[in-house]
Structure 1
């Protein structure tokens, strides 16, 4: 029976908390969806997706970056902004992947600086399991730091144990802080 509804960004935030990059209050604010102004980097990430996929606001990006990113998209593109969900124990993981082809899903990312393997433990990797029934066999991250374009490819035989452990730890955190959680959407009641 599902007791929690979680999305990858929230789980990735918890991973940052575990590594000491944020404090407990900042994590609770994320869980509670306390409004914060959108950063320039977040706005640029949304614009990058739109520019690559739809061709809007292309003038804000280097043409060669857009060309390289588009070359890494599946052909043909079957759908964009595809909802997916996956159940793991008592958790329903849900979210949207940017693009799917016949066997390849792609998520577009922007970053201030890139290092290889950055997304190996990203919770969006669960999209692979969620989209398996649609024929998806691999997930590609297409990443830009505005200087170049990088790709990371993952497939169904990857090890999810670290992410699964984080999910269980996050559920424990949710239970031990239940009285401080005002946005109850994470709980299925």
Structure 2
């Protein structure tokens, strides 16, 4: 029976907390409770860049060559965008939206100011691949644009197949459940916990 609903951004923040990511317990709890924080310039740029690549909106804000490079790495044809994914892992419903899918691969478009290879090797979005198996998806790719201060932006790709280990993500989910139970009185986001008799589907549950 499903007792929890987790999404990858939250699990990735918890992973940072576990692995010395300079995050306090209170900051983690605020993230769990969806306490609003100001949108950073980097976040705004990421959203704008994705819209420019996928929808052609505001393309003039970015280097045309970078847009071309990223588009060249996307699946053809693009079957769907903002695809809902969910996966049951023991008593957890893992859910979220991947940017787009082709016939055989899912792609998430990322932007950063600094890139190191293997950045997404333990990312919880890798679980999308397992949620999309029934759609014939066999590969999860991150298309990463690194915007540098000198304007020399670069594009990188990380690809993960169904055979890529997810042991660390599964263990972090287990540890996150323990953290939640330890701090349960402080958790006010009603979407995290599934009440008895409640529909576990994240799309139909009531958000806090």
Range into which the TM-score falls when normalised by the shorter chain: over 0.9
Unaligned 5+ segments in structure 1 are: none
Structure 1 partner of 2:160? 154
Distance 1:105 1:186 in 2: 26
After TM superposition, give the deviation of residue 20 of structure 1 in Å.
2.2
Distance 1:8 1:37 in 2: 20
Higher relative helix content: 1
SS in 2 for 1:184: coil
User: What does residue range 11-22 of structure 1 map to in structure 2 within 5 Å?
Assistant: 11-21=11-21, 22=23
Distance 1:37 1:180 in 2: 22
User: What does residue range 51-62 of structure 1 map to in structure 2 within 5 Å?
Assistant: 51-62=52-63
After TM superposition, give the deviation of residue 101 of structure 1 in Å.
0.4
Structure 2 partner of 1:6? 6
Structure with more relative contact order (C-alpha pairs < 8 Å, separation 6 or more): 1
Does residue 1:168 correspond to 2:169, yes or no?
Answer: no
Larger deviation: 125-134 or 40-49? 40-49
Distance 1:45 1:5 in 2: 26
Q: Alignment RMSD, CA only?
A: 0.7
Structure 1 partner of 2:85? 84
After TM superposition, give the deviation of residue 59 of structure 1 in Å.
1.4
Aligned residues: 189
Q: Deviations over 1:139-186 (max 9, x none)?
A: 110001121100000010110000000000001000100001111211
Instruction: Report the TM-score, using the length of structure 2 for normalisation.
Output: 0.90
Structure 2 partner of 1:180? 186
Higher Rg of the two aligned structures: 2
Distance 1:134 1:10 in 2: 25
Distance 2:141 2:62 in 1: 21
Instruction: Report the TM-score, using the length of structure 1 for normalisation.
Output: 0.98
Distance 2:131 2:178 in 1: 23
After TM superposition, give the deviation of residue 11 of structure 1 in Å.
0.1
